[in-house]
Amino acid sequence: MNKNCFVSWSGGKDSCLALYKSKESGYNPVKLLTMFGMEEISSSHRLDEKVIKAQADSLGIDYLIGKSTFDEYEKVFMFNLKNFKKQDINYGIFGDIDLEEHRQWEERVCSSAGMEAVLPLWKRDRKEIVKEFITLGFKAKIVVVNTNMISTKFLGQDLSLSLIDEIERAGADPCGENGEYHTVVYDGPIFKKPVDIKYADEIIPVGETWAQFA
């Protein structure tokens, strides 16, 4: 069986590092799959399609946007996986670290489509993951924060070793694995060129606890 795979792509650091690690292990990423809500932005990282397309172009990998309501998420995800299988894609790459219910769901939906779920970051130390991401030369900005967990002062900042130490001192997980923050990756060793992302100077409230730097 070939090692063609799709990557569950958020546009952020964990899915990017999982992509990098999968390539190191001999997998052949041929598709990025990003799920959007009914808004024209991704569900968690709140990136629009122009950003996803620019990332995909720089990575040299085709991309696909799946749009669904919350209730239809699994149905739409499964529809795309079954189409991928018809294209001889046999593996799904996911950036989850230690949330068992996420892994179980990913293994179940991939199995239903005749694929295998692969989690290159699974059970690694959270802080070591983000430190490796930075040390490898990837570049990412914080674009969403949960204001119940960390200050909006982190919005728009580039990830760095000193910044993750500061986040940790604020009492948050340095990897943001509890939902403290989300990132957008714009450069790194697997990018052909930096992604030119335009940022507004304003903070946009998202619900009661989230803020976005977009």
CA 2 to centroid of chain Cα atoms? 24
Crossing angle for the helix pair 13-24 and 126-135, to the nearest 10 degrees: 80
- Confidence band of 160 (pLDDT split at 50, 70, 90): very high
8 Å CB contact between 204 and 212: yes
In angstroms, rounded to a whole number, what is the distance separating the alpha carbons of residues 200 and 211?
13
Residue range 31-77, pLDDT digits in tens: 999 999 887 778 778 888 999 999 999 999 999 999 999 899 999 99
Q: How far apart are CA 170 and CA 24, in angstroms?
A: 34
Query: According to the model, what pLDDT value does residue 35 have?
Result: 94
In the chain the domains, ranked by start, together with CATH numbers, are 4-118 (3.40.50.620), 126-213 (3.90.1490.10)
| Number of Cβ atoms within 10 Å of the Cβ of 194 | 12
- Tens of pLDDT, residues 167-181: 999 999 999 999 999
Q: Kindly tell me if the per-residue pLDDT of 208 is higher than 90.
A: no
Joined tokens for residue 1: 């069986």
Q: Which of 26-30, 105-109, 124-128, 175-179 has the lowest mean pLDDT?
A: 175-179
